């Protein structure tokens, strides 16, 4: 499948932040960012750690945010959430890989982290 995937934008930070807030586990994201930063990892490795840990957090709580995830990712590829939810698994993996390749996920996750911080 050859889909056009748009770059992450400011509005996506807010959408993703709302998804994480639904998990009611703000400390988890803060700990992910803090742990990655404390390890003095190179940028590429830090992004990989952010992504891996956040994906694990979302998977653990998928029942709470499944529809929100479909909506978020579908918007990036110009599909409806329903159509996105019916993609082949290989297409989903390719979309996520392209999102990671074409965006500064460190900056994205850092911005999301600031918005989910309970001050």
79 or 45: which leads in pLDDT: 79
Among 28, 89, 27, smallest CA distance to 57 is for: 28
* Domain spans of the chain, in order of start: 10-116
* Listed ranges 11-20, 36-45, 77-86, 110-119; the one with the highest mean pLDDT: 77-86
DSSP class per residue in 66-110: HHHHHHHHHHHHT--HHHHHTS-HHHHHHHHHHHHHHS-HHHHHH
Looking at residues 3-13, what average pLDDT do you find? 93
Percent of the chain topping pLDDT 70: 90
What confidence tens digit (pLDDT) does each residue in 49-103 have? 877 888 888 888 889 899 999 999 999 999 999 999 999 999 999 998 899 889 8
Looking at residues 18-32, what average pLDDT do you find? 75
pTM higher than 0.75:
yes
Q: What is the pLDDT of residue 20?
A: 82
């Amino acid at each position: 499948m050859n889909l056009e995937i748009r770059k992450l934008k400011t509005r996506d930070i807010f959408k993703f932040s709302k998804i994480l807030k639904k998990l009611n586990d703000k400390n988890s994201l803060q700990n992910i960012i803090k742990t990655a930063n404390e390890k003095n990892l190179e940028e590429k490795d830090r992004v990989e750690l952010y992504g891996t840990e956040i994906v694990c957090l979302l998977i653990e709580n998928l029942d709470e945010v499944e529809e929100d995830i479909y909506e978020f990712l579908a918007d990036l590829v110009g599909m409806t959430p329903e159509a996105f939810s019916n993609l082949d698994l290989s297409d989903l993996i390719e979309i996520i890989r392209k999102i990671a390749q074409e965006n500064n996920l460190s900056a994205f996750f850092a911005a999301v982290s600031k918005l989910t911080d309970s001050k």
